[in-house]
Chain A
Amino acid sequence: MRLTRMIFAAAVLMFVASPFSYAEEAYLNYKQYCMQCHGMHGKGDGVNVPAMNVLPRDHSDNKYMMTRTNTEIYKAIKFGGPAVNKSVKMPAWGDTFTEQELQELVGHIRTLCCEKELVRGVNFK
């Protein structure tokens, strides 16, 4: 009986804790690779931006980001700006991230732009 309880508790813990650990990894990746241009708060105001002739996307811009699907965001990260008709200033990160990390990053960007919609359960496609 005690063992069953422990297994149950472990299962519950795994279920509850794993999304947080994914979120943390995604945040670390965002911090490490994206912040240099998209800024410390994802507002497209990174330290490199003053030299750029095309400004990075403001990930907190709910109005614009809601017009983009998850697939488009995924493609922009993996294959770079030109893959979604955007600037070459956004490089392709496909060699840097694993598939899972890419998916998690898309999820992280959604938390920056569209928290209300996430809570409402909007399908971002």
Chain B
Amino acid sequence: MKRIFLLATVVMVFSSAPAGADESGAEFLEKQCASCHDLKGPAPATIRDLWKRDAPDLFYAGNKFRREWLVEWLQKPVRIRPAGVNYLRSINSTPPENQKKRSGRQFDVLWGTVLKPLKHVTLSAADANKAADALMDLAPHYELVANEKYTNPPGVTLDSGEILIDKVYGCVSCHQIEPGYGGYTGAELYTAGKRLQPEYMLSYIERPKNWDPKIWMPNGHVKPDDLQKIVKYLILLSKEDFHASN
């Protein structure tokens, strides 16, 4: 009887090996990412807490990112938010002499670490895959994306989308729709289509506060039809090659 019990114990221990492999992904994240990224949530509920944030929250990465983009990005990390994750840390009201406008009108300028290449761990292909798998498992906000459905509306072109984004809803004030064109304090939009899941984009644009209660992106009260068109435009935009020579 004792032998059977021992055998059962041994079988149980070894059969739980896949769970162990799963855990190693989570452990990997904990070791590599947790010192800067929030992997547990919830999102900061006060402005002061938000200002303590050093890197984007990843606790809902599985609701947010496309896995293939994560794998690619983790092997070659580049900056996504031109003004950094907290723009207040990286602006300065006195531009250096060489950046002063001849017209006499001056603006606040980016300053500090955001002017240098992003400092981020670069992973090998195997590690990037492991981290991406573990990140895709972090999906606590299922209820926010469950009711969103991307309809892939017809008739949206890069031009009509740009009119929506720029003239109708004014997103370009803070977001760039091509490298160097647009505001600095939002995440770049020309990679959003390949970076983010369509359902996440729908839900986030609809009400950013649901995902990040104190974020400096307003609720634009985008009409449902326009919301679909904007997401379609972002997906179209992300397929453009911005580094192609003219």
Q: Which residues of A contact B (CB under 8 A)?
A: 28-29, 31-33, 35-37, 39-41, 45-52, 87-96
- Binary contact track B62-97/A, C-beta < 8 Å → 1, others 0: 000000000000000000000100011001110000
Among B162-221, those with CB < 8 Å from A are 167-170, 172-174, 176, 181-185, 207, 209, 214, 216, 218-221
Cβ–Cβ contact A29 & B47, under 8 A? yes
Residue of A nearest to B176 (CB): A51
Cβ–Cβ contact A36 & B185, under 8 A? yes
Residue of A nearest to B215 (CB): A96
Given known contacts A33-B216, A47-B107, A94-B219, what 7 new A-B pairs fall within 8 Å (CB)? A45-B108, A46-B108, A48-B173, A51-B176, A52-B173, A52-B183, A91-B220
Q: Main secondary structure on chain A at its contact with chain B?
A: loop
Complex Cα spacing A87 to B167, Å: 9
Contacts A28-B47, A32-B47, A32-B50: A92 and B174 contacting too (C-beta < 8 A)? no
Contacts A45-B105, A51-B182, A95-B207: A88 and B169 contacting too (C-beta < 8 A)? yes
Cβ–Cβ contact B88 & A32, under 8 A? yes
Residue of A nearest to B48 (CB): A28
3 tightest A-B contacts by CB? A48-B183, A95-B219, A91-B218
Cβ–Cβ contact B50 & A92, under 8 A? no
B106 at the interface (CB under 8 A from A): yes
B87 partner, pick from A36, A90, A91, A95, beta carbons under 8 A: A36
Complex Cα spacing A97 to B183, Å: 23
B109 at the interface (CB under 8 A from A): yes
B61 at the interface (CB under 8 A from A): no
Residue of A nearest to B221 (CB): A92
Contacts of A47 in B (CB 8 A): 83, 87, 91, 107-110, 183-185
Contacts of B174 in A (CB 8 A): 36-37, 48
Complex Cα spacing A31 to B216, Å: 10
- Between-chain CB contacts (< 8 Å), 20 pairs: A28-B48, A31-B88, A32-B88, A35-B91, A37-B173, A39-B107, A40-B93, A40-B108, A45-B107, A47-B83, A48-B174, A51-B176, A51-B181, A52-B173, A87-B170, A88-B168, A88-B170, A90-B170, A91-B220, A92-B218
